[in-house]
Structure 1
Amino acid sequence: MASTTKNHSPLTREKILGAAIHLFQRHGFNGLGMRQIADCLQIKAPSLYYHFKSKDDLARSALQQYREEQFYRLQEIEKLDGLTEKLYAYSELFAEMLNDEKRLCLYLVMVREASFQQEPCVSELRLFAKQNIDWLEDTLCQAKKESPQTIETERDIAEIIFASLEGIMATSLNDENPCKSFRSRAKSFFNIILLTTAR
């Protein structure tokens, strides 16, 4: 049975992962220990090991949950009309993180961590990138069907959008208002992309 603290609801794997995602986004992987994560949850560190065998296991599971949560958000964006609306809504996924204590995309945090350069961590990172690029490619292909002969290389453009938003996020982090800077740069970037795809 998982440990609980007084006046707190029972500790669950989902609560641990939710807290871990936010902590990793703010402090990185190497900047945190299991004890710090436990302190945030107001539990003892050994309680974390009931659910996760190591910090690597916790981080990998956090990225998996992060990817799954994003999948549902992408499905919601698909319901919007028009390529422009969908791309701006997609960029808001990044802007919202910066607006919340300057959090970075968990992919951006983990892709540079040494422990995430080995399997199965690399596989999880690749799945996240693939999910984003696949979604962007499908969105661009749908726009092409609605406006024939406008887009020629959807996969290349999808890869560029994903990589660019990750880079814009990193670049905006040191600005006085990271979220505002990100939104401005993303808007300029999408204006270029939309002009390119409208040819």
Structure 2
Amino acid sequence: METTSTVREQILEHAITLMMLRGYNGFSYRDLSELVGVKTSSIHYYFPSKDDLVLEAVNEYSSEVLQALGSIDAALAADAKLSKYAKLFARTLGDGDQICLCGMLAADIGSLPDNVRLAVQAFFKANESWLSKVLAQGVQEKTIAIAGKPEHAARALFAAYQGSVLTSRLFHTKSRMDEVEALWRIPK
């Protein structure tokens, strides 16, 4: 049985996509109105302000990403977990023209209200925490090499992934993602 999404879900989905393509300041309720096929007043009914919409979009996006991380088999070796993470992150690119929602919003942080900034920071911290555990496991297994503490390496790795989607978009190639993953593996 096919399920149809609600107007609210369509608004959120399109808002996430538009922000991944254009950033916080690159879309309006008028854009969403045209994509969803409703009046802007209908969008205001669900999301009284753009800040409300953006916060909900960040929460939805974060939930989906963290759920995907949670679905990675905990019994896998660290290098296999890191490969799965890289594939999840690469899906962010879509057709090569999107950036991670929270990465894009981090670039717009000066325009965002505090509650959205805190939600974006929470997304970064959750990814860095997960990566830190995987890197620590990899060091113990001798499948991943890092310099310094796992939490510092995790921040650098997450920044590298965020940067790789940006440069993949710039150069129209997904190979930048593969290059990041290769840096952390110990050759067998």
TM-score scaled to structure 2, two decimals?
0.85
Equivalent of residue 160 in structure 2, options 148, 161, 164: 164
Report the AA paired with residue 35 of structure 1: R
Matched, 1:143 2:138: yes
The equivalent of 1:18 in structure 2 is: 13
Distance 2:156 2:39 in 1: 43
Distance 2:163 2:80 in 1: 21
The equivalent of 1:124 in structure 2 is: 119
Instruction: Give the drift of 1:115.
Output: 2.1
Equivalent of residue 185 in structure 1, options 176, 180, 187: 176
Distance 2:96 2:182 in 1: 27
In the TM superposition, what are the counterparts of 1:81-96 in structure 2 within 5 Å?
81-96=76-91
The equivalent of 1:97 in structure 2 is: 92
The equivalent of 2:35 in structure 1 is: 40
Larger radius of gyration: 1
Question: May I ask how many residue pairs the two structures share in their alignment?
Answer: 184
Instruction: Give the drift of 1:102.
Output: 1.4
The equivalent of 1:76 in structure 2 is: 71
Equivalent of residue 29 in structure 1, options 24, 27, 43: 24
The equivalent of 1:194 in structure 2 is: 185
TM-score scaled to structure 1, two decimals?
0.81
Q: Which runs of 5+ in 1 are unaligned?
A: 1-8
CA contact (8 A) 2:23 2:105 kept: yes
Distance 2:44 2:94 in 1: 32
Report the AA paired with residue 25 of structure 1: M
State the secondary structure of the residue aligned to 2:114: coil
Distance 1:91 1:10 in 2: 29
